[in-house]
Copies of this chain bind each other. A is one copy, B any other.
Amino acid sequence: MDFLARFGRHFEKINAELQRSLDSSVPLIREMGEHSLLGEGKRLRPLLFMLASGLCGYQGEDVYRISTVFEYVHTASLIHDDVLDDADIRRKKPSAKHVWGNLAAVLGGDFFYSTAAAIALETGRPKLLKLINDTTLRMIEGQVLELMHTHDWNLDKERYMDIIVAKTAELMSAACASGAIMADIDEEKVDQLAQFGLNLGIAFQLMDDILDYTSSEKTFGKPVGKDLREGKITLPLIYSLADLDPKEFERLLDS
């Protein structure tokens, strides 16, 4: 049974809020939003926020609206990542960059980052705002770190972990912690939910990196074998490289 299907009732409401919040007088921005935000995504980050806020007893009517913050940040970072990676397929559809060009994709990502902030501002909670902004800064640092280590065949496990924590796990952590912050519960529980989200995010990215080597485009929903082609060194490769004898490793570097 599909685990996520259990939360189906949340999906519709999250998607309805995403639709409602897509607000710009500029048609191209609305089109990019409809394309990039309202697709087939799993809505994992909004869902984490929903579940965490429910767990902590938050009852506000704005819960679905706030949950979209995490989808906006995630989508903005994906769109900019596509500019970087020259990726043409995202969520089984052509990427924003592919449809509108680099130019519009950069601005679309910018707009969605700021839309996330606009929705977070509505809560009037400085702690939430600060968490979301700090998380965004960390995510960008993670993307830059990853970029700096492209084709770095000596990347070790520790640095790889730094990268996936920053680029993936921190946002899931923030989604969980934000649920606790909205419920005004004590700092210790906020930290515990942050820790849970962080570990979930690490596990998620590990799986994503493994599936890039072991899955197929049909089941994975995006091209496989991409990381190696793009010189993105991930854990499966780090382990494989460690098994090479020095001569084999040299041959690889020369190739």
Q: How distant is the Cα of A140 from the Cα of B115 in the complex, in angstroms?
A: 11
Classify the secondary structure of A's interface with B: helix
Chain B residues, CB < 8 A from A252: none
**Identical copies of this chain, number:** 2
Query: A102 and B114 in contact (CB under 8 A), knowing A26-B145, A144-B26?
Result: no
B110→A113 contact, CB < 8 A = yes
A38 part of interface (Cβ distance < 8 Å): no
- Interface size of A by Cβ–Cβ distance < 8 Å? 38
Name A143's closest neighbour in chain B (CB-CB).
B107
Query: 1/0 per position for A124-155, CB-CB distance to B under 8 A?
Result: 10100110011011001101110110000000
**16 contacting pairs across A/B (C-beta < 8 A):** A24-B141, A26-B144, A28-B148, A80-B106, A83-B103, A102-B102, A104-B147, A107-B144, A109-B110, A110-B110, A111-B137, A114-B133, A121-B126, A121-B130, A124-B126, A129-B129
Q: Mark A residues whose CB is within 8 Å of B.
A: 24-26, 28-29, 80, 83-84, 102-104, 106-111, 113-115, 117-118, 121, 124, 126, 129-130, 133-134, 136-137, 140-141, 143-145, 147-148
